[in-house]
Structure 1
Amino acid sequence: MLMTKLHNLPSVVLFISCSAFLFLLVAKNEWESLEMLSPPPPVAKRHPLEVVYSTDYNFLLNEPKKCREGSPFLILLVITKPQDFATRQAIRQTWGNESSVPGVSILRLFLTGVQPKFGYPLQALLEEESSIHRDIIQQDFLDTYNNLTLKTLMGMEWISKFCPNAAYMVKADSDIFLNVNYMVSQLLQPHLPPKKNYMTGYICRNFKPVRNKASKWYVPWEVYPNETYPPYCAGPGYVFSGDLAKKIYQVAKTIKVINMEDVFMGICLYELGISVTNSPSGLFKTFHAKYEKCKLSKVVVVHPLVVPEKLLQIWPGFRDQNQTCKS
């Protein structure tokens, strides 16, 4: 009897194994059927113009030692494209010259991303330029118009990490005329203690988002749902105090980033409970102006004014101390 049971044991094991396999097979088919009937979980869709801001962007070109020997009074953060070699060189020789204001320490940095189509061949040239001038900061986001916000935030990050004690910064587009000497004497006044929570420029108030899809400045409702923007300083050129860099860099991590760089700075200030500061009338001009030395000697920013070749041509005359202007 015992031998009969032992003889039949493999059959029993085989039966149990087959039954278990069939059970699992049926259960799997039932589960897949339920999955097909149940709708997939919703996936949040991001609008193409919604800027992806990440703290994981890497520095491809960096100058982390710039402030180790001392913090500058003023940092020029110049927005530039990777391919703008001639523009950067013209700025270095004119208003971006770090020795342009006697007795005032100035640091010049060009901010750029990666060229979308020709990033690889351009990178070698950019690295060579960087090795010569040591004034280019680059992260690995695409260099596009809608990513201008990322460039400015990169500047804020760089200051926060590598030069947190600088007194003032200027965010400047590469196509402006910047009168650094007049700005330092009229607005920043090195003989006084540095201002705090300070940002000034051409102030835009009660501006509404452009909802026309054909516009360069189009901002969809999905990206910014409010009727008007908070007050902000127009993007071609604005000045801010060193303490604001870290505050803006930190608050930007907590709110939705939009594709309008200057507006987003205003949104950050609004979130921080900080107001933009009015500047004396006429110092920041955001319209085209013909070059006239005496008029330009009394402004801080003109946008746009000249191409690089013209800038190099007019600069010697602008700096000529022998030609005086009436007050």
Structure 2
Amino acid sequence: MKKTPTLLAGLLLALGLASADSAAAAEQPAPIHFGAITWESGALTTEILRLIVEHGYDLPTDTLPGSTVSMEVALARNDLQVIAEEWAGRSPAWVKAEQAGAVFALGDTVKNAEEGWWVPAYVIKGDPARKLAPLAPDLRSVDDLKRHAKLFDDPEAPGKGRFLNSPSGWTSEIVNTQKLKAYGLDALYNNFRTGSGAALDAEIAAQIKRGKPVLFYYWSPTPLMGRYDLVRLEEPAFDNAAWATLTDPANPNPKGSRSLPAKLSIGVSKAFRDANPELVAVFEQVDLPIGLLNKTLAHMAETRQAPRQAAQAFLREHPEVWQAWLPAERAAKVKAGL
């Protein structure tokens, strides 16, 4: 009989603790879901923003994987809240969601970003230091590629050149596939898709190391741009009507055009925008200098640094860049958290 009050007290205490734990769990905010971007600049920017949100605003975050288009669809549904590097206006999925007011592009995060088709400079100019003679001194534009398919020979498709496209699932892969048709190159070049952005990098780097001709789609900001001397091939001037045919994989008669002028922004869902005015104000101020960004990305790639580590180093070493985006007290919290 003497043990009953003790057992009862223990039970009440346990129930009280469980109730307190449940209340604490209920008060814990749900994590902000960032898209797990696979290319280097997007991965680095994601981690920079996550660190600012976590340390500066005491909010939990995580990342969810997906292709470019699937992440844009998830953002429109608020299954994702943030895509840290959104090439806004590129895909029909984004355009549709933006017109419906379901997603928003915040800021202009990287000025002078670009994308297009590239070859190593030695293909056109040669490289005396490596004793490489010019292979195609007349190569200037995508139209010139019609004469040089044999130069970019694809060992897996005899008689055709090889064009290194984006991985499947990227919006740019659709555009490049349509461009091959629009430029009359689809019968002359094999539309080669690597399995990932890393595989695309590895293939380009291997060919450049060997001094071989290689034709590929690429973009900036990236480590590759800071590492090699590359030449972008000329394309017809940007035309909005032509661009619509390039972003539509079902269009049977795409028209040639340079890609939509690049504007990199932070994509957010409507729910996130409505609920987080402080973070929206920060995201609208984000400005990553492209030269410094390319240098950071090159170092990240060369040292095989994880994006999270590279982001921590970037924030520690370049407070003059990011402190301007935040109120002083929030910037101090980020600095202390690092």
Query: Do these two structures clear the TM 0.5 threshold for a shared fold by scoring above it?
Result: no
Larger RCO (alpha carbons 8 Å, 6+ apart): 2
* Higher gyration radius (CA): 1
- TM-score relative to the length of structure 1: 0.27
